[in-house]
Structure 1
Amino acid sequence: MLGNVRDLFHYPVKGLNAQSLDHVQLEPNRGFPFDRVFGFARHDSGFDPNNPKPLAKSRFVVLARDAVLATLDTRYDPTTGVLTLVNDETNGSFDINSSEGRAGAARLVGKHVGLISDKYPTLHASDPHRFTDVSVDSTEMMNAVSLINADSVEYFAAQTGADINVARFRGNIVFSGIPAMTEMDWVGREIAIGDSLLRVLRRTKRCAATQVNLATGKRDHDVPKMLRDCFGHFDMGIYAEVIAGGPVCVGDTLTML
């Protein structure tokens, strides 16, 4: 079964914008490069960067709880370590390799989501820890790559009559050319993409973050309920682990083995 890589995305900061990529180098057991390597932990999260433990997404500033995050335009440059944050009222560029830069970014994000000053979040990184939603399940899942079948999303939108696009599901690898929803049966199977080999670990259960229209920052569709009503489950997309690394490029062939 053959498909093609349509888009590649990473999300350097948990809860913030996707950044589009032309290519990426995958490595075994290392997750998707620069994906969810930073997180804005809530003031009472209990996260310790010196002893990082996976925590529930509710301990962080995320779309599932703070839909207005979608209206914050963000860009992270891994070469310089600069995170740029722009909204209607202000913008700032912060060197988040420094404590001052991390604090400045946290203040802007805290204000943007309506927190009072003593409840502003703290921006953390603790390599090789990743702030993925499924990190709470296992180290294997923390380093999983998220794949979305664009044909499945288009089929879902057509079935429900809703204006829903693939960006709402915040995947790393978006592919097309595979019959809609067939990837739901790939758990335990292997996928070849370019020179890389991945093993599908599980389906992706969807949460309240998918209710958010990323263009408006408003909740406009109850996507988890719509998935259940349409398919009898809450799943859209799959998680896979990288078992053999290599370059992956937009346009590469994806083969289910």
Structure 2
Amino acid sequence: MEAVVRGVGFSPVKGMRHLALDHVYLDRLGAVGDRAFCVVDPAARRVLRTVQHPSLMTITAQPYDDQLALTLPSGERAEGPATASGETITCDYWGRQVALSLTAGPHAELISRRLGHDERLARAPRGGVVFGDPVTIVTTASLEAMGADAARFRATLLVETDEPWVEESWLGREVEVGDATLRIGGPVPRCAVIDHHPETGEKDSRLLKDLVRARPTNKAGEPMFGVYATVDRPGRVAVTR
């Protein structure tokens, strides 16, 4: 099956603004550059979760020329090489211990001012701060059925469909997207992050409750929306215009 891709994106720093991009390159571990960094609470030895720190979404992270720029809505900016400081830390990420490399540079100061407490920027191993399979997909028909904005779901790919929820029938199928081939996995459980505006971080929606009423839920009561995927054949995936 070949899919028409209407959107691609990721965030270079876990939890920060989800970037809408023209294209991504998918390898066996997902979109190259996706969640290459994360923000950690060094005292608690914990990776910050977006659902607990939605103000992370107000920070835009842009990698360029081996450097990283972080920008606040005010225009305040911290940029420079996010080089290893030589310090390592093992942090909890959803019950899993992940070894991270703390970085030097101006980024931590800007993040700490924004969040109101001392944090550090850390480089993560590929897939280290990813929950579930490395690629997530949402579809146009399912979004339309819920009256929802794709940006709230922070998916790797937005795929065009005519029938809502048809993606849930793709389990185990191969889907071609651009030059890549994906293997479709199970549905994606959703949390309260989707109730927060994807740019301001403010809670401005009751979308999670709407999904709970309309969609199947898992044992934790989380509603399903979109599907996971793994990469069978790496390749470039661009938005179809």
8 Å Cα contact 2:18/2:198 also seen in 1: no
Deviation at 1:189, TM superposition (A): 1.8
Residues 35-86 of structure 1, C-alpha deviation per residue, up to 9 Å, x if partnerless?
011100122343xxxxxxxxxxxx32333011222223x1322423222222
Q: Which residue of 2 aligns with 1:69?
A: 56
Q: Which residue of 1 aligns with 2:143?
A: 153
Alpha-carbon spacing, 1:71–1:83, altered in 2? closer, same or farther (3 Å): same
Alpha-carbon spacing, 1:7–1:168, altered in 2? closer, same or farther (3 Å): same
Alpha-carbon spacing, 1:22–1:87, altered in 2? closer, same or farther (3 Å): closer
Q: Which residue of 2 aligns with 1:236?
A: 225
Letter in 1 for 2:233: A
Work out whether 1:11 is the aligned partner of 2:11: yes
User: Which residues in structure 2 correspond to 1:131-170 (within 5 Å)?
Assistant: 131-134=129-132, 141=133, 144-157=134-147, 164-170=148-154
Counterpart among 162, 182, 194 of residue 178 in structure 2: 194
Alpha-carbon spacing, 1:60–1:103, altered in 2? closer, same or farther (3 Å): farther
Q: In structure 2, how many angstroms separate the alpha carbons of the residues matched to 1:13 and 1:174?
A: 20
Q: Give 3-state SS (helix, strand or coil) of 1:106's partner.
A: helix
Q: In structure 2, how many angstroms separate the alpha carbons of the residues matched to 1:20 and 1:216?
A: 16
Q: Which residue of 1 aligns with 2:33?
A: 34
8 Å Cα contact 2:17/2:199 also seen in 1: no
| Greater Cα offset, 10-19 or 219-228 | 219-228
Q: In structure 1, how many angstroms separate the alpha carbons of the residues matched to 2:7 and 2:25?
A: 14
Work out whether 1:221 is the aligned partner of 2:205: yes
8 Å Cα contact 1:94/1:102 also seen in 2: no
Q: Give 3-state SS (helix, strand or coil) of 1:133's partner.
A: coil
Work out whether 1:251 is the aligned partner of 2:215: no
8 Å Cα contact 1:2/1:178 also seen in 2: no
Deviation at 1:178, TM superposition (A): 3.6
Q: Which residue of 2 aligns with 1:172?
A: 156
Work out whether 1:91 is the aligned partner of 2:49: no
Unaligned runs of 5+ in 1: 47-58, 135-140, 158-163, 253-257
Normalised by the length of structure 1, the TM-score is 0.77
Unaligned runs of 5+ in 2: 86-101, 218-222
Q: Which residue of 1 aligns with 2:112?
A: 110
Residues 158-208 of structure 1, C-alpha deviation per residue, up to 9 Å, x if partnerless?
xxxxxx311000011111134111112222222111332111121110012
Alpha-carbon spacing, 1:83–1:14, altered in 2? closer, same or farther (3 Å): same
Deviation at 1:125, TM superposition (A): 1.2
User: Matched residue pairs, number?
Assistant: 220
Normalised by the length of structure 2, the TM-score is 0.81
Identity among equivalent pairs (%):
25
Alpha-carbon spacing, 1:246–1:88, altered in 2? closer, same or farther (3 Å): closer
Q: Which residue of 2 aligns with 1:130?
A: 128
Q: Give 3-state SS (helix, strand or coil) of 1:75's partner.
A: strand
Deviation at 1:93, TM superposition (A): 1.8
Alpha-carbon spacing, 1:249–1:121, altered in 2? closer, same or farther (3 Å): same
Q: Give 3-state SS (helix, strand or coil) of 1:218's partner.
A: coil
Q: In structure 2, how many angstroms separate the alpha carbons of the residues matched to 1:176 and 1:87?
A: 31
Deviation at 1:9, TM superposition (A): 0.5
Deviation at 1:97, TM superposition (A): 2.2
8 Å Cα contact 1:63/1:212 also seen in 2: no
